């Protein structure tokens, strides 16, 4: 039955399902724990309420309160909603509150909630994943999303200078503003960290590696490793189902076909046989960060 759940939205290759289903209860539980305990991506300019550490969240196969779609950010917001609603003393006043200036919509507040001390808090959330590109900057940045039009600097500028200002400017009851931004930075395979990092990037951020499709053979050098595709929206915690992991030879063949047919970046998880995740990786097409292959 568990395999059937995993493969409802899965993809078969050589007779195996290697993707995670969109409603995998154990994976959602792991993603909730990751949301609580993983390192913040940004510096601690905004403290996230520690009361959430006491959240008591239970997820069952019949629970419709978390219905992840393909968008990682929306899924992450649903997880935060569960944590807020299950934290003692917190009362959610608004979620996805649209802000209007006269007849113009100027933005949206992810959450407005009241904590156990009666403080009204505006909270913004985001789960972001960027790849460090050491060559000439793209859109003024060396930290690019899988879609290179998205950059670390663009996100920080919008978060700090637009999203986090909306509550104080348009919602008079807001007494405190907070942000919860989790995620990971991926560095070129077998490279060292850059000497300088963006000021707003937490120096203890979670790290992974990225490689071009032309470097896929490097996956075959890890004979004792297994790999799993991290399918949206489950880019957060490592895959929990053992059935998601396949051999290095299998993932090599799968990714070769993937880039021949489609070519969009793929996140994968590496683990030692029957052990926990040892590395998270992104594999990108050879034309990345260009949006389309060059002729």
Rounded CA-CA distance 189/132 in Å is 11
Rounded CA-CA distance 35/181 in Å is 9
Rounded CA-CA distance 230/226 in Å is 13
pTM of the model: 0.89
| pLDDT value at residue 50 | 56
| Domain ranges for the chain | 2-284
Which residue, 274, 257, 235, is CA-closest to 20?
Answer: 235
| pLDDT value at residue 12 | 53
Tell me the H-state helices in the chain: 2-7, 25-37, 72-85, 152-158, 164-170, 248-261
Burial track 10-23 (b if 16+ CB lie within 10 A, e otherwise): beebeeebbbbbbb
Rounded CA-CA distance 152/128 in Å is 8
Q: How many CA atoms lie within 13 A of 9 on its CB side?
A: 12
CA distances, 109 to each of 123, 174, 177 (Å): 7, 11, 11
| pLDDT value at residue 125 | 95
Mean pLDDT in order along the chain per 10 residues (295 residues): 36 54 77 90 66 58 62 93 85 94 90 92 96 94 96 96 92 92 96 90 96 96 91 94 92 95 92 90 96 65
């Amino acid at each position: 039955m568990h395999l059937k759940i995993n493969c409802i939205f899965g993809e078969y290759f050589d007779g195996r399902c290697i993707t995670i289903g969109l409603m995998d209860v154990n994976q959602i539980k792991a993603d909730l724990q990751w949301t609580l305990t993983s390192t913040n991506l940004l510096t601690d300019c905004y403290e996230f309420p520690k009361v959430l550490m006491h959240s008591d969240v239970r997820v069952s196969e019949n629970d419709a309160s978390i219905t992840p779609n393909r968008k990682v950010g929306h899924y992450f917001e649903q997880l935060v909603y569960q944590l807020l609603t299950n934290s003692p003393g917190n009362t959610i006043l608004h979620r996805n509150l649209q802000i209007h200036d006269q007849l113009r919509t100027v933005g949206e507040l992810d959450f407005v909630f009241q904590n156990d001390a009666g403080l009204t808090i505006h909270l913004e959330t985001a789960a972001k994943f960027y790849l460090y590109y050491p060559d000439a900057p793209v859109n003024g940045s060396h930290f690019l999303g899988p879609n290179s039009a998205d950059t670390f600097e663009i996100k920080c500028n919008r978060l700090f200078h637009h999203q986090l200002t909306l509550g104080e400017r348009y919602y008079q009851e807001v007494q405190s503003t907070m942000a919860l931004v989790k995620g990971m930075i991926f560095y070129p395979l077998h490279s060292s960290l850059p000497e300088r990092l963006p000021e707003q990037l937490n120096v203890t951020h979670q790290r992974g590696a990225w490689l071009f499709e032309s470097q896929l053979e490097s996956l075959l050098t890890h004979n004792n490793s297994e790999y799993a595709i991290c399918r949206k929206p489950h880019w957060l915690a490592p895959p929990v189902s053992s059935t998601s992991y396949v051999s290095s030879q299998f993932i090599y063949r799968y990714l070769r076909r993937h880039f021949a047919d489609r070519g969009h970046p793929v996140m994968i998880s590496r683990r030692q046989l029957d052990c926990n995740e040892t590395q998270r990786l992104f594999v990108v097409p050879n034309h990345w960060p260009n949006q389309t292959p060059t002729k």
